[in-house]
Structure 1
């Protein structure tokens, strides 16, 4: 089920007819993209379970996007009620567990001995990676669904009211706030900002991508990635709910709902190429390929230089796959029925599959080499290794 959000903090959960509208159009109330049945394939990769556990009560009825995070040899995971746990990533041994006073709503970010998380009541917390103790907590303007993002000095937080806030990583003190305009109706979710030391790239529900100066929060350039079109408010949704991807040579890739996948020159925002693909998800860049999961659950490989489509796999259509992850030459996706799929990154063929949990998978798996950590909607956390 997908949820859209009114900017006046009113939320509306849509039923099957509206879900079909969000997929593109509707036909007698039935979704356009009927989930495809899984079929046999040439299995050349297997997924071997290493360890599993359950973290709290899962992501709740709203399926908050509480994706786990890994830093070095430690894996961090949480649930919607405020349970946070740390595990040895290799054997699953629990290192610590804490119960926070606030319900969690964002993915986790683990970096430089700190663990950052956002909450439903608009707080951002910094935890010590060693024992889970709270180093600081700061209130921002509204609920936080996107994982807070850190550079060397600042923690950048995007909240559901269109605000981006820079906090001091050491103290949580507010440095600056940038406000964007929201359309009346938006998807349930926000873009995840991408921050480097000098600037932050942030995508918004109005279809615009903005580069902010981290010294003061002032915009340096602004680009319209997706243009609203259509008669209804649903047709005109153009949210940028993924995270931009930046290359070392200064190219920026961004996806949009009901819009385009676009490559930009990062310093000035000039468009290098654009391709009509609707995607709410963060893409993955590996070598010269940009991998995109579309809203129809097609997996598309694009040439990163030109935007040319290299291959497309439609076998998972309508299965509400997660954003892609990359592990040892394979693309990794979870789906609504709790299956984990492996695709060969070279040609897009399915090469492996296993079922993790029938509760379904809605957050992007975490990968390290050939190891995959995946958390199901009910809190089931499992670590698997690709073989061979």
Structure 2
């Protein structure tokens, strides 16, 4: 049996070119991580699985496991950094074997950042860890006292990370010493779980908050350059949890869960346009297009006007933060990973490695690293869309 499994260690994935969910059907590759259900190569193969590693398989009687932390990659040591729901940080080599591991007491809300040989880990226990990427040894720790919820951002000698409690912390990358913090009081009603990962651009950090505001902060001292309310009045689901994005024209895009997408002047916060589509939880800018993912849909807009180009309905599913790989839009929708043609919005492949995918994959050229909800890390070789 072991020899049989090894012979299937590298298997081809792909699916027939077809639509998905909203009226058409897509060939779905739903597989057990160790035993593929189908060995037939579909007619339009767009990726293959190079290797996989079982990091945190579901425990007995565990219901609906879910991994939310996106993998990261260390180009110096050539391994993948994966944070899993069992509280472990693991470095996984190109052979799929764990090189080192580090344990924290609480599961993670977001993935790590690798920069200059250091892994910055946002702990669910409220601690920001700086680990040596080669060994996993602790270089320093900063205790924020609030559960950390975003991938750390490293810029100008600082590490920025936001908490579940609407605080943005800035600490020195060299030693973890506190530099500044900015906090807003959460609204009294219901909020969406999660936080806005800050965007740093030309000395300014742009970040959203659960009270419906987006704020531009000076990276030097954390003082507010401008702030803008996007969600109006009310007490429920005002969140601005999307990571702001900026395009080549210098326009800032951010979304209110309640009131839709806003295009703003980055320098002043003045509004350029706004959509009326709520439920957006992530944005991705690419050239002249802006892609939005969220509750029940994935959309593409013209960045200069906000005109809707296409919309892919997902039924009752929610789309999580997408990424680009080899000309395709890769969208986790919890039960699977969609490979979407960004020109048409047509889903070309729906891949479920078992228990689905929630965490955003990490893309490195034609290699894509995917952490499935059942705790398996996959390395994909992506070919892109053919035809």
Q: Is the TM value for this pair above 0.5?
A: yes
Flag the structure with more relative contact order, 1 or 2, with Cα contacts below 8 A and sequence separation at least 6. 2
User: Who is 1:70 aligned against?
Assistant: 73
2:311 is the counterpart of 1:302? no
Q: Is the 8 A contact 2:196 2:242 kept in 1?
A: yes
Q: Are the structure 2 counterparts of residues 238 and 266 from structure 1 closer, same or farther at C-alpha, using a change threshold of 3 Å?
A: same
Counterpart CA distance in 2 for 1:62 and 1:167 is 33
Q: Are the structure 2 counterparts of residues 333 and 317 from structure 1 closer, same or farther at C-alpha, using a change threshold of 3 Å?
A: same
Counterpart CA distance in 1 for 2:224 and 2:337 is 40
2:89 is the counterpart of 1:84? yes
Counterpart CA distance in 2 for 1:64 and 1:238 is 25
Residues 11-39 of structure 1: CA deviation (Å, up to 9, x unaligned): xxxxxxxxxxxxxxxxxxxxxxxx87971
Give the 3-state SS of the residue equivalent to 2:150 in structure 1.
Answer: coil
Q: Are the structure 2 counterparts of residues 100 and 387 from structure 1 closer, same or farther at C-alpha, using a change threshold of 3 Å?
A: same
Q: Is the 8 A contact 1:163 1:178 kept in 2?
A: yes
Structure 2 unmatched ranges of 5 or more: 1-20, 28-41
Counterpart CA distance in 1 for 2:158 and 2:217 is 13
How big is the shift at 1:43?
A: 6.4
Residues 330-368 of structure 1: CA deviation (Å, up to 9, x unaligned): 11112232x2211111111122232211x2211112222
How big is the shift at 1:214?
A: 1.6
Counterpart CA distance in 2 for 1:321 and 1:215 is 35
Residues 154-176 of structure 1: CA deviation (Å, up to 9, x unaligned): 11121122111110011100011
How big is the shift at 1:321?
A: 2.6
Give the 3-state SS of the residue equivalent to 1:48 in structure 2.
Answer: strand
2:175 is the counterpart of 1:176? no
Counterpart CA distance in 2 for 1:225 and 1:332 is 28
Residues 90-138 of structure 1: CA deviation (Å, up to 9, x unaligned): 5434332233455433321112211111222211111111111111101
Give the alignment of 1:262-341 within 5 angstroms: 262-296=262-296, 298-314=297-313, 316-337=314-335, 339-341=336-338
User: Who is 2:144 aligned against?
Assistant: 140
User: Who is 2:232 aligned against?
Assistant: 227
How big is the shift at 1:248?
A: 4.0
Number of residue pairs the alignment of both structures matches: 344
Segments of 4+ moved more than 4 angstroms: 35-38, 57-64
User: Who is 1:202 aligned against?
Assistant: 207
Task: Select between 305-314 and 272-281 the one with higher mean Cα deviation.
Answer: 272-281
> How well do the aligned residues superpose, as a CA RMSD in angstroms?
2.4
Counterpart CA distance in 2 for 1:55 and 1:212 is 38
2:37 is the counterpart of 1:39? no
How big is the shift at 1:287?
A: 1.2
Task: Select between 120-129 and 248-257 the one with higher mean Cα deviation.
Answer: 248-257
Task: Select between 61-70 and 173-182 the one with higher mean Cα deviation.
Answer: 61-70
Which of residues 338, 343, 346 is equivalent to 2:343? Answer: 346
How big is the shift at 1:57?
A: 5.1
Counterpart CA distance in 2 for 1:86 and 1:197 is 32
Counterpart CA distance in 2 for 1:57 and 1:133 is 25
Counterpart CA distance in 1 for 2:155 and 2:177 is 15
Which of residues 209, 217, 222 is equivalent to 1:217? Answer: 222
Counterpart CA distance in 2 for 1:51 and 1:77 is 15
2:224 is the counterpart of 1:237? no
Give the 3-state SS of the residue equivalent to 1:186 in structure 2.
Answer: coil
Give the 3-state SS of the residue equivalent to 1:52 in structure 2.
Answer: strand
Q: Are the structure 2 counterparts of residues 40 and 123 from structure 1 closer, same or farther at C-alpha, using a change threshold of 3 Å?
A: closer
User: Who is 1:116 aligned against?
Assistant: 120
Structure 1 unmatched ranges of 5 or more: 1-34
Which of residues 96, 112, 136 is equivalent to 2:100? Answer: 96
How big is the shift at 1:196?
A: 3.8
